[in-house]
Amino acid sequence: MASEKNAKAAGAARPAAAPTAAKAGKTEQKYTVAKLRGNCMQLFGVTTSTFDGAMHGHNKAVYSVGETKEIIEKWLNGSAKGGND
């Protein structure tokens, strides 16, 4: 019974998948910005306000976790000048 609850809790923390796109032969799962934002503390270790600041100006509807992490890290290190995706 406890493992069933843990499995459900773990599934709830995962964002729901959005359509994926193949890029250079590598397919990485894409998620909506809202799903990434809703799970930003678990995925990236940042608050929603930090997530919002980093993603400001990035206008795509979906991003991979890797893309989003790179955007946030650049923003935190001061090397991001804005999105315009």
- For the stretch 10-42, pLDDT in tens is 444 455 544 444 445 578 899 999 999 999 999
So what's the pLDDT on residue 34? 97
Specify burial of residue 63 (Cβ count, 10 A radius: 0-12, 13-18, 19+).
Answer: buried
Q: Which residues are paired to 64 by β-bridges?
A: 30
Higher pLDDT, 3 or 68: 68
The pTM for the full model equals 0.65
Token output for 23: 């890029």
